[in-house]
Amino acid sequence: EAEVAQSPRYKITEKSQAVAFWCDPISGHATLYWYRQILGQGLELLVQFQDESVVDDSQLPKDRFSAERLKGVDSTLKIQPAELGDSAMYLCASSRGVRGDTEAFFGQGTRLTVV
Amino acid sequence: GQQLNQSPQSMFIQEGEDVSMNCTSSSIFNTWLWYKQDPGEGPVLLIALYKAGELTSNGRLTAQFGITRKDSFLNISASIPSDVGIYFCAGTDQTGANNLFFGTGTRLTVIP
């Protein structure tokens, strides 16, 4: 069964260091989302791609976060420099993104701890 | 962004009881989705709804797309211990941009 792949599963980094997360969506899914979830809280959309284009990055802290999906397939989310408050689960999801088929499927997430 | 109001925030129920939770939006939605999230894992899609009034079941789970297109509910019948987790509603609005908005979640605890 096709699934969204994320790596690494866990990451511990020191504050001020750079960190990167990778996501490989389900094949054929044009829409890709990155969410942040602080422990015990809801999902906060960081960035949404439609193919290789950014559709929504209004909540992305652009002074330290960047995201790309160069070939419209897999995506990388980067944080530089990491801060203590960035400790959270980073979730990637993908969907076909067409009317009548907007079901989004999530990866297992990357748990980031900044020390 | 769009705010989805999900209630209740948490529930404590006895095994075997039925559960109901709902979600409302301030604008019309084209899609309603319900997810379950276990600790340390990504949310798993339970049910997808695409038409107003649509009622869909997945085992002991039943969800409905509200007639006004601004609400949805999820029912779980005869709860079991493995139903424990956080349930999120989500939906896409009419903009066509596939923006996926999430509710704040309902934390379900099932007491054996």
State yes or no: pLDDT of B43 exceeds 90.
yes
State yes or no: pLDDT of B3 exceeds 80.
no
Shortest CA distance to B72 belongs to which of B97, B42, B44, B51? B51
Identify the pLDDT of residue A1. 66
Of A40-49, A98-107, B19-28, where does mean pLDDT reach its minimum?
A98-107
Beta-carbon contacts of B102 under 8 Å, excluding residues fewer than 6 positions away, are A35, A42, A43, B4, B88, B89, B90
From residue B82, give the alpha-carbon distance in Å to each of A65, B16, B41, B75, B76.
37, 12, 14, 15, 12
Chain A residue with the nearest C-alpha to that of B88: A42
Residues 71-100 in A contacting B (C-alpha not used; CB under 8 Å): 89, 91, 93, 95, 97, 99-100
Q: Which two tokens stand for residue B46?
A: 């339970």
Chain A residue with the nearest C-alpha to that of B34: A103
Interchain contact, A109 vs B42, CB within 8 Å? yes
Residue A25 at interface with chain B, using a CB cutoff of 8 Å: no
Torsion of CA A48, A52, A55, A58, to 10 degrees: 60
State yes or no: pLDDT of A99 exceeds 80.
no
DSSP class of residue B8 equals -
CA distance B25 to A111: 30
Shortest CA distance to B4 belongs to which of B111, B76, B87? B87
What mean pLDDT is reported for chain A? Answer: 94
DSSP class of residue B112 equals -
Q: What is the mean pLDDT of residues B73-81?
A: 98
Interchain contact, B97 vs A56, CB within 8 Å? yes
Interchain contact, A102 vs B43, CB within 8 Å? no
